[in-house]
Amino acid sequence: MADYKTKQRELILEYLKSSDSHHVSAGDIAAHLRESGTVGIATVYRQLDKMVEAGLVRKYSLDGGACYQYVGGGGDCREHFHLKCLNCGALIHVDCDFLSGLAPHILEHHGFEVDNRRTVMYGLCRKCREEGK
């Protein structure tokens, strides 16, 4: 039941960590790792599933397929919001009183219980906006 520590898992996790600031697809990972020895695409998917399950990695279902991003083991991000840049893929964690009041407001006034772990606000980050995207 416990996860074994294999070379492939280490390579995948390492690549995900090094891509911390943006998301990558399973294909990106496989392509990158083709250089550092062989890691089959099936293994990439299987390991990603486990990492998502374990909360180490976050999965985003986007148009052309899913993307993954390392979010670390600490905390489950339940209490703050996530902004994701549609241009560069950066994931921004936001902690802010105004936003913390959002979920309670929606629950009280609209009867809807927001799940912060699943909710991401999409748009353009400062850098991409300034570069005129």
Partner DNA sequence: CTAAGTGCAAAATGTTTGCATACTT
Partner DNA sequence: AAGTATGCAAACATTTTGCACTTAG
Chain residues in the site for DNA (CB under 7 A): 1-9, 25-27, 38-43, 45-47, 49-50, 64-66
Could you say which of 17, 62, 70, 131 contacts a second copy (CB under 8 A)? 62
Would you tell me how many other CB atoms lie within 10 Å of the CB of residue 10? 11
From the list 7-15, 45-53, 69-77, 106-114, the region that binds a second copy by CB under 8 A is 106-114
Radius of gyration of the chain (CA): 17
For a second copy, the closer CB: 13 or 124: 124
Diameter over CA atoms, the chain: 55
45, 88 contact by CB (below 8 A): no
Judged by DSSP in three states, 132 sits in: coil
Contacts to a second copy by CB under 8 A: 61-63, 66, 83, 85-86, 92, 94, 96, 98-99, 102, 105-106, 109-115, 118-126, 129
